[in-house]
Structure 1
Amino acid sequence: MGLTSVGIGSGLDIGGIVTALVNAESAGKIAKFDVNEGKINAQISGIGSLKSAMSEFNDKLTTLTESATFGSQKVALSSKSYLSASVDATAVTGSYQVKVEQLAQSQKVASAVVADKASTLGEGSLTIAVGGNDSFNIDVVATDTLTEIMNKINSSDDNSDVTATIINGELGPQLVLGSKNTGLDNIISVTATDTDGNTGLVDTFSMTEVTPAKNAIAYIDGVKVVSKKNTIEEAITGVSLTLTAADIDQTTTLTISKDTAKTKTAIEGFVEAYNSVMTTINSLTSYNAETEQAGILQGDALPRSIQSQMRNMLSSQYSTSDGNKMLANLGVTTTREGLLEVDSTKLTEAIAADKGAIAEMFSSEDTGLASKMSSLLDGYVQTGGIMDSRDTTLDEQLSRLTDSREQLNTRMAAFSARLYKQFNAMDLVVSSLNTQASDLQSRLDSLPGVVRNNS
């Protein structure tokens, strides 16, 4: 590159001239690049907003494709003092009177009192069993104390049914064995064997029941129910009871009814998420005549296609065992703006009177509203879907724009170098002419008889 300062020969600001010429040549192209880059980035942002709203809507649809959302039951208790309850979808609507006579409990047996828990008891073995389960053996050596025997019982790999502990009572320490399971089927038996000729183990482990095993006893509508656990799962269809206290004189009313709130919440969430998608599309594709501002994706076929397909699905009828159904039958209608609105009272009444048709309408595989719409949205928002493809296309446009900027910079650098070369060449010529003119003037001034005109 040549001189970049004021021309030596010509006195021109070559640097300023070259910069002005380069800027004049590139300014229009750079402005066009900036405009295009802004549009592409705005489109990327718009596609991202649309994809986010559609993904959130798709999540709401997932709930409406699950059978648990529809026809579920709920349970209420007149008192929580004696039991708790849970229900599944097979529970039958109705009311039941429950009385708890007795809670289930596990048996506990105690050894004879020993003088000192650190004293040895002799050599031999203990065979322990609970109910009909396999027994396990504990080998007792001559140096074992009551504490060590307790530890051997609790740490035995074969022991899954008994817990051993030492209780220091008024008369002295005793080893207490407790069944891990409640009910009359879990009775503990202990057989002691002495092998050292003494009777220390046999005498100590002649067990005495200190807490009896009991089955739970409850009455449901006057029918006696017995369970070895405090959880009763098969007495009432679809209902699980957990007994917590007993008083045969107290009655708890258990009421099972249809859980309309779960279905209603799911449908209202569907409406809200759908409106969010439609609002996003309208915002991205609209034109404001007053401000003369166009949406980021105005004229783009993608959001309009999505909007059209979704609206068609919402206005369609869906086959159920109770005849063809559509959203309007549930109190969900379309406003003039293309959004959905819910008549809360009508929706509640429709769910309360429903016998399975709403579930079919939404969740029937391949034919239900939620199932079909979820499949539609998956094609757009899933990894590798249409939205990702559009993002890839826009990213490629940005990449090409970056390449064009680099090419322009390269051309402008060459153009600048060429201008500097031309202007510097001119400057040298002017400098040479100025030098020759000055030399000629000097020669003329030195000729005899030539009088300089100083005026």
Structure 2
Amino acid sequence: MGTISSLGIGSGLDLNGLLDQLKDAEREKLAPIERQIKTEDTKITAFGQLKGALSKLQDAAETLNSGDLYSSLSASTSGDSVGAAADKNAMPGGYQINVETLATRGTLASGNSTGDPTDEVAASAQEMTLSFGSGPDKTVAIEAGSTLEDVRDAINADEESGVNASIINDGTGYRLALSSRETGADASISGFSFDGDATISADDALVADGGTLQAGTDASLTVNGIGITSANNQVEDAIQGVTLNLKEEGESTVTVEQDTLAVREAVTGFVDAYNDLKETTGKLTSFNAETGQAGELNGDSTVRMVESSLRNVVGGMGNAGSDFSMLSDIGISLEVDGSLSVDSDKLDDVLSSDQQALSDFFAGVDDSDGFAARLEGSVGQMLSDNGSVNGAISSAENRIDSLGQRYDRMEQSVDRTVARYRTQFSQLDGMVAQMNQTSSYLTQQFDALSQMSSGKN
């Protein structure tokens, strides 16, 4: 029996449509696996959110666990003449600053000018020597045929020239203008010369003599009456561990004190990170009774373990060597809903009066871990390669791999079944087509016999 390539042609039946319906019905067997894979993918995404929230809490705990945080100093200023920044070497104290002069850059313009900056000023290759206040001379190579613009560009291209060059028009011609790259008297440009024939006309050499010179100056200031000079306006270690940024002439007061703001931000940062984590776990494990909608990790044991471990740390006692024993002693309370709240007045009182005790509570004392170290360790264990969170992610990934293999096997089974249906339908189509042909032939024969019988009569 011949094979019919297009189902239904021989029989006139809609076998293709029927085969499509059977194929769709068979593929429905794949739907449960697809839903399971999607569920596991959703869990992996949810665990990623949990992992991110835990990482932020770990970072906040790490900040609180640093002993340097509680010994850090800040510098504040009153007045507009200076800005100040303190490092770990600074010492608490107050300082009266009087800025008498700011450090300036030296400038120099050539004493003569050319009518066009594109006119040649150096017929031969030569060196230009730049002189400075008390610093060493610098040399710049000038190529043959250089114009005033070329001289400018050669100076600017040389990182060691010590000056920036430009061209100015004084109304009668174009002059070479130089500005020291650094402030201070030693770095101030004071002159320039050439060892060749650098001229702006046939008999007029390009010279600094007679030019406009503004000498650079050192900054001058007093700190508590002690005179200080500086080549630049950023003065380091005039006050130990403090950098002064001179802004203008005048008087200012610099106060160096414990940086309570940094500690406060670290404490509130921990509270915010903990509450963000609490909000994240709440969403992931939520259940809406009205809609029946559940969070991605509703009922998941990993989340319950995370929440339980954190409650034990947060509700536990502090370091035995600290004056504080619980978070509530420093103004942090555990609310009924599991979140943390801050009593700002109580925390500020602790920060201003007993910062060492706060350091002992969070960072530990006498080689004993403080609250922050225990929290950091607990979260670190959860996030480790063998920890509960990564373990849950790995389990979900393994289930996806297993489901994927099951899906492939099921899909192959479906394809074989559909192929078998196609073969059977093709055979049916051929059989019906043959039967139709036989029926048509017999009908013709019967019609012929009938006509013959009628003719005899």
Aligned to 2:181: 180
Aligned to 1:222: 225
Q: Secondary structure at the match of 2:395?
A: helix
Aligned to 2:305: 305
CA contact (8 A) 2:169 2:175 kept: yes
Aligned to 1:114: 112
Q: Which has the larger radius of gyration?
A: 1
Aligned length in residues:
424
Alignment of 1:54-453 (within 5 A): 54-66=51-63, 67=66, 72-80=72-80, 82-111=81-110, 113-114=111-112, 116=114, 126-131=128-133, 133-137=135-139, 147=148, 150-151=151-152, 154-155=155-156, 157=158, 159-169=160-170, 175-188=176-189, 190=191, 192=193, 204-206=207-209, 210-247=213-250, 251-282=251-282, 284-285=284-285, 297-319=297-319, 322=322, 326-356=326-356, 358=358, 367=369, 368-379=373-384, 385-403=390-408, 405-406=410-411, 409=414, 413=418
Q: 1:332 to 1:193 in 2, by over 3 A?
A: closer
Q: Secondary structure at the match of 1:62?
A: helix
**In structure 2, C-alpha distance between the alignment counterparts of 1:205 and 1:61, rounded to whole Å:** 64
Aligned to 2:437: none
**In structure 1, C-alpha distance between the alignment counterparts of 2:29 and 2:162, rounded to whole Å:** 82
| Per-residue CA distance 1:55-75 (angstroms, 9 max, x = gap) | 133134324424576555444
Q: 1:403 to 1:362 in 2, by over 3 A?
A: farther
Shift of 1:392: 0.8
| Per-residue CA distance 1:28-87 (angstroms, 9 max, x = gap) | x9988755654553354244224213313313432442457655544443333x233333
**In structure 2, C-alpha distance between the alignment counterparts of 1:238 and 1:211, rounded to whole Å:** 34
* Letter of the 1:104 counterpart: A
CA contact (8 A) 2:138 2:162 kept: no
| Per-residue CA distance 1:414-453 (angstroms, 9 max, x = gap) | 99799999x99xx9xxxxxxxxxxxxxxxxxxxxxxxxxx
Q: Secondary structure at the match of 1:226?
A: strand
Shift of 1:189: 5.0
| Per-residue CA distance 1:222-246 (angstroms, 9 max, x = gap) | 2222111111121223332222222
TM-score (ref. length: structure 2) = 0.67
Higher deviation after alignment, 219-228 or 399-408:
399-408
* Letter of the 1:399 counterpart: G
**In structure 1, C-alpha distance between the alignment counterparts of 2:150 and 2:422, rounded to whole Å:** 99
CA contact (8 A) 1:65 1:363 kept: no
**In structure 2, C-alpha distance between the alignment counterparts of 1:208 and 1:115, rounded to whole Å:** 10
Q: 1:128 to 1:315 in 2, by over 3 A?
A: same
CA contact (8 A) 1:63 1:69 kept: no
5+ residue gaps, structure 2:
433-457
| Per-residue CA distance 1:307-339 (angstroms, 9 max, x = gap) | 222223323445487467543333223233333
**In structure 1, C-alpha distance between the alignment counterparts of 2:50 and 2:58, rounded to whole Å:** 13
Shift of 1:102: 0.6
**In structure 1, C-alpha distance between the alignment counterparts of 2:159 and 2:265, rounded to whole Å:** 51
**In structure 1, C-alpha distance between the alignment counterparts of 2:84 and 2:176, rounded to whole Å:** 37
Shift of 1:162: 2.5
* Letter of the 2:334 counterpart: T
Superposed CA RMSD = 5.7
CA contact (8 A) 1:184 1:214 kept: yes
* Letter of the 1:180 counterpart: R
CA contact (8 A) 2:130 2:161 kept: no
* Letter of the 1:338 counterpart: G
CA contact (8 A) 1:107 1:209 kept: no
Shift of 1:96: 2.9
CA contact (8 A) 1:153 1:159 kept: no
* Letter of the 1:136 counterpart: K
5+ residue gaps, structure 1:
428-455
| Per-residue CA distance 1:376-418 (angstroms, 9 max, x = gap) | 2432699x93243023123124314524643663686599799
**In structure 1, C-alpha distance between the alignment counterparts of 2:292 and 2:309, rounded to whole Å:** 29
CA contact (8 A) 2:85 2:243 kept: yes
CA contact (8 A) 1:380 1:387 kept: no
CA contact (8 A) 1:120 1:142 kept: no
CA contact (8 A) 2:114 2:175 kept: no
Q: 1:188 to 1:305 in 2, by over 3 A?
A: same
CA contact (8 A) 1:53 1:273 kept: no
CA contact (8 A) 1:167 1:175 kept: yes
**In structure 1, C-alpha distance between the alignment counterparts of 2:248 and 2:280, rounded to whole Å:** 56
CA contact (8 A) 1:54 1:277 kept: no
Shift of 1:287: 6.6
Aligned to 1:45: 42
* Letter of the 1:41 counterpart: K
Q: 1:356 to 1:398 in 2, by over 3 A?
A: farther
Q: 1:200 to 1:137 in 2, by over 3 A?
A: farther
**In structure 2, C-alpha distance between the alignment counterparts of 1:240 and 1:105, rounded to whole Å:** 19
Q: Secondary structure at the match of 2:85?
A: strand
Aligned to 2:440: none
CA contact (8 A) 2:94 2:253 kept: yes
CA contact (8 A) 1:333 1:342 kept: yes
* Letter of the 1:130 counterpart: F
Q: Secondary structure at the match of 2:355?
A: coil
CA contact (8 A) 2:57 2:277 kept: no
| Per-residue CA distance 1:86-117 (angstroms, 9 max, x = gap) | 33354444443222111111233454x33645
Higher deviation after alignment, 65-74 or 329-338:
65-74
